[in-house]
């Protein structure tokens, strides 16, 4: 059976297809040097859903600066390879190229750009909108991120539970970590896996098991200072 026409992102015969990810963005470069192989650029909302749509990286000044001075530009991974895999019924590639993910976890990704147009950082936040990807395991993304930048050297602080915060199936995680990578670059990682006040595994009115009443989120930033 002949495969449908492969997208330009595919490599030469014998090489694995590749699409760019957030890790392909280089810190310290000007926006004009960033690869324009992503889609759905928009002003970010501190790792949340996108706001004002943008034509591309160069529109970053349309975004309101954060308290630290950076302007957050949200983007998504190109879905061309995903559609190619679906057209050819290639199940492993469908999973590999579906959505905007890192290490298999759905994420919201963005670039942090200063007023001079220099890329100062990247931000990743686990995306809670994908229930099919086991949202209750989102906190495990921290293990892959710490491994990426080396297990050693992280300074971590375990935060105390606030009133009403409880464990999820016996697991309670509320942690904040930081690591100096070198070259003026630092990584920060925040992980939460808990039930907030008012959340419960059982609905007290019906006695039935609840769905989604917990928080499992990882927030990661890699920032290079001036």
Supply the pLDDT for residue 199. 87
Supply the pLDDT for residue 11. 45
- Cα 59 to chain center, whole Å? 21
Model pTM score: 0.84
φ/ψ of 168, rounded to 5, equals -110, 110
Q: What is the pLDDT along the chain (226 residues), one digit of tens a residue?
A: 333 434 445 444 445 567 789 999 999 999 999 999 899 999 999 999 899 999 999 999 999 999 889 999 999 998 766 655 555 565 655 555 667 899 989 999 999 999 999 999 999 999 887 654 577 889 999 999 999 999 999 999 999 999 999 999 899 999 999 999 998 999 999 999 999 998 888 888 888 888 888 999 999 999 998 6
Contact 171, 214 (CB under 8 A): no
* Distance from the first to the final alpha carbon of the chain: 54
In order of 134, 162, 197, the CA distances from 215 in angstroms are 12, 14, 11
In this structure, the number of other CB atoms found within 10 A of the CB of residue 117 comes to 17
């Amino acid at each position: 059976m002949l495969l449908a026409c492969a997208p330009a992102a595919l490599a030469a015969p014998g090489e694995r297809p590749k699409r760019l990810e957030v890790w392909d963005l280089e810190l310290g470069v000007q926006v004009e040097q960033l690869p324009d192989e992503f889609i759905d650029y928009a002003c970010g909302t501190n790792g949340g859903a996108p706001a004002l749509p943008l034509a591309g990286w160069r529109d970053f000044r349309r975004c309101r600066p954060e308290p630290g001075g950076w302007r957050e530009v949200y983007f998504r991974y190109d879905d061309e390879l995903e559609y190619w895999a679906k057209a050819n019924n290639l199940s492993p590639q469908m999973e590999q190229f579906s959505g905007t993910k890192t290490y298999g976890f759905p994420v919201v990704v963005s670039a942090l750009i200063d007023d001079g147009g220099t890329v100062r950082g990247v931000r990743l936040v686990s995306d809670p909108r994908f229930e099919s990807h086991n949202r209750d395991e989102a906190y495990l993304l921290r293990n892959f991120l710490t491994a990426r930048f080396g297990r050693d050297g992280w300074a971590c602080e375990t935060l105390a539970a606030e009133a009403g915060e409880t464990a999820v199936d016996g697991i309670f995680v509320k942690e904040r970590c930081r690591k100096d990578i070198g070259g003026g670059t630092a990584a920060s990682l925040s992980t939460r896996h808990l039930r907030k006040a008012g959340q419960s595994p059982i609905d007290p009115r019906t006695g039935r098991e609840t769905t989604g009443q917990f928080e499992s989120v990882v927030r990661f930033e890699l920032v290079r200072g001036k």
